[in-house]
Homo-oligomer: A and B are copies of this chain.
Amino acid sequence: MKPDKRVISLSHGSGGRLMYELIQNLYLKYLGNKFLNKLTDACVLDLTSKQVVFSTDSFVVKPLFFPDSDIGELAIAGTVNDLLMLGANPKYISLSLIIQENFPFISLEKIIKSIAKASNKAGVLVVTGDTKVVDSNACDGIFINTSGIGVKLPQARLGFENIKQEDCLLINGSIGQHGLSIISARENLKFNVKSDCQSLEGLIIPALKEFKSDIHFLRDPTRGGLATTLNEICLGAHCCVIIDEAKIPLSETIQYSCEVLGFDPLYLANEGKAVFVVDKRIVNQLLKFLRKKSLGKNASIIGKIKDFKQAKVVAQTSVGSSRLIDMRDGDPLPRIC
């Protein structure tokens, strides 16, 4: 069989016949459903509730394909997770592509297949979309935007305003995987690190249904890593967060690789993790609950809300000292998601 050497041309983004064919032969083939099939520039949805959650994210990750995942899965998991973090059951996704002229058709097909697989797994439908093609020096490969609508779970009561003194903080597993996997793939390093990129509906929805308003706040520590999420919590709730560094799950490979490369794993991006801020009464039950799920088998209680006197994050180290965990000005790794 001859290799598929077709490429995307400017005309595929023109609104003309080639674009129509791209929609028919690629998007509808893999993602088709009763909404998308209508081929209108928007879609009509019948929601099951008037209370919804709405989110958007653009993905510019480099490289497009990385160990165990790619930009397609990332674009679905990222937006699905953002909806989950506000207590919604993710339902509908919009997909908007900006593609560089001469981008291989076969790579686009691989990405669309990956989007189809990830949407299917997360139980969401891609219901509307858009494609733009730009000249070859105007964009690097492909950028993907997904926006999402989820239906709010009636049990969920999440927000900075619900965070209370002595609330406990948990995370569902080892940090730094996504960030390290990207840098490893980008720089051709030989670290054996897979991205944790995955959607968390199988963990978050059951937890919210079980523990309801005792879960006070959720956030996924993506860009900027766990350290940034902890700082956002302390700034958003104006509270002091105390972290027990030894309790933060960290695989040996990540720890070793970070030491070699000089990265602090606290600032490395994750794409399949959630930080829970919960009532201390239920924290041990929740820990047990999470550890029974594959997505939470390495869950750990990592700290607590000390008080509301000062907005800061303090880490207690294993040797008994303590240090401030700051929000950094920049990121050691651009284009991580």
Q: Taking beta carbons and an 8 Å cutoff, which residues of A are in contact with B?
A: 9-11, 13-18, 20, 38-60, 62, 82-83, 85-88, 92, 94-98, 127-130, 132-135, 137-140, 143, 145, 147-150, 152, 159-160, 219-220, 222-224, 228, 232, 235-236, 327-331, 334-335
Which residues of the other chain, B, contact A85 by a CB distance below 8 angstroms?
40-42
CA–CA, A130 to B56, complex, Å?
7
Please report whether the interface of chain A is mostly helix, strand, loop or mixed according to DSSP. Answer: mixed
| Cross-interface CB contact of A140 among B39, B62, B128, B138, cutoff 8 Å | B138
B43 touches A224 (CB 8 A): no
Complex Cα gap A328–B41 (Å): 19
| Contact in complex: B88, A42 (CB < 8 Å) | yes
Q: Separation in Å of the A158 CB from the closest CB of chain B?
A: 9
Contacts of A220 in B (CB 8 A): 41
B330 to A86, Cβ gap below 8 A?
A: no
Name the distance in Å between A77's Cβ and chain B's nearest Cβ.
13
- Chain B, Cβ-Cβ closest to A40: B86
Q: State the CA gap A35–B174 with chains docked (Å).
A: 32
Complexed CA–CA distance, A30 and B98 (Å) = 27
Q: Are B49 and A50 in contact (CB under 8 A)?
A: yes
Chain B residue contacts of A335, Cβ below 8 A: 132, 134-135, 138
Please determine whether B41 and A219 come into contact, CB atoms closer than 8 angstroms.
yes
A15 lies within 8 A of B132 (CB)? no
CB distance from A101 to the nearest CB of B (A): 8
Nearest B residue to A334 via CB reads: B10
CB-CB nearest in chain B for A335: B134
Closest chain B CB from A324 CB (angstroms): 13
14 pairs, CB–CB < 8 Å, chain A vs chain B:
A10-B334, A11-B329, A13-B223, A14-B328, A15-B224, A16-B329, A40-B86, A43-B55, A46-B51, A52-B52, A56-B94, A59-B132, A96-B147, A135-B334
Give complex CA distance A137, B57 in Å: 21
A127 to B56, CA, bound (A): 10
Please tell me if the beta carbons of B331 and A14 are within 8 angstroms of each other in the complex.
yes
Given A140-B137, A145-B56, A149-B149: A41 touches B331 (CB 8 Å cut-off): no
Given A47-B51, A96-B58, A145-B145, A224-B328 contact (CB < 8 Å):
no
Contact partners of A96 in chain B: CB under 8 A: 56-58, 145, 147
Quote the shortest CB–CB distance from A285 to chain B (angstroms): 26
A130 and B58 within 8 A (CB): yes
Expressed in whole angstroms, the Cα–Cα distance for A85 and B159 within the complex equals 35
**Could you say which of B48, B87, B128, B137 contacts A137, with CB atoms under 8 Å apart?**
B137
Pick the most buried of A9, A140, A149: most chain B CB atoms within 10 A of its CB: A149
| A127: chain B residues within 8 A (beta carbon) | 54
Of the residues B47, B55, B97, B150, contact of A58 by C-beta under 8 Å? B97
Q: How far is the CA of A217 from the CA of B139 in the complex (A)?
A: 35
